[in-house]
Amino acid sequence: MTTKNRYTPDRGLTTRMVTTMFLIGLLYVVLVGVLLAVLNHAWPIILIFAGGLFIAQFWFSDKIAAFSMGAREVTPEEAPELHGAVDRICALADMPKPRVAIAQSDIPNAFATGRSERSSLVCATTGLLRRLEPEELEGVLAHEMSHVAHRDVAVMTIASFLGVLAGLITRVALYSGLARNARNAGPAGIAIMLIPLVSAVVYAVGFLLTRLLSRYRELSADRAAALLTGRPSALASALTKVSGQMARIPTEDLRKAEPYNAFFFVPAFSSKESLGRLLSSHPTLEQRLDQLARISADLARP
């Protein structure tokens, strides 16, 4: 998971990605093992189903996410300022230029997707482009492109797959009445009832693992962007401005955006009491600003 660009390597992020992938893989083995043990007569279907979902999640999740968030690729002629900012970041980082997109949304935000630098896409909303100054925009784009450079976007895509699979199995088992019909089936029935229970536990553990990784990777992206551009104050200004503007966005729009918070530069919450705030994929604004203030002080030292 090493990078060949000028973004500052983050050993802490690399260690967390490797650990998360190992634990996620272990959970995946446990889940499939339980399915095979309980439904041993259907093991070919289980393997094909799990393998098919994994391939679909890995290859298409970024495209689905970009489409769901309304990202539309734009040419340099259509968005010269956005392309110019991306070009400057690419020159600083010595990395291939990603596809550039704009999402028609007043929510000020940005995100990046892609399994690698070559297949990446960086997107800014019209709300973000309208509100930020050029230096602030470059800071946000540098943050998003660091996710691609460090490959944590790909790791998050793979890590989230297990949660999707476990959640799907739990819902199928409950809605199909599998557990209810198994109560009177003796020992075999008890074994079958373990499927939704194990799936629910796997989902919960996988969710916590991805949240812990996600919070660290956001701090890592802030740090890498600040060091690359040499302007942590511009990124701090963008963070403060975007976070402050969220309160002015209609609740309905924020609620629609909440499912994609893990991708966003700043999470969108529809209310102060939102459960998403407690289980947020991002660290608090105060944590992010404190880190940028320390970086700014370090850079100012002779």
Annotated binding site: 143, 147, 218
The angle subtended at Cα 107 by Cα 102 and Cα 111, nearest 5°, is 50
Please identify every residue annotated as catalytic: 144
What gap in Å lies between CA 208 and CA 14, rounded to an integer?
18
Q: Which residues are annotated as part of the binding site for Zn(2+)? A: 143, 147, 218
CB 179 within 8 A of CB 173: yes
Tokens of 149: 């450079």
CA distance 148 to 146: 5
DSSP strand pairing (121-125 vs 110-113): antiparallel
How buried is residue 46: exposed, middle or buried, by Cβ count under 10 Å (0-12/13-18/19+)? middle
Name 269's Cβ contacts closer than 8 Å, sequence gap at least 6: 246, 254, 258, 261, 276, 277
Residue whose pair of structure tokens reads 């093991």 in the numeric block: 43
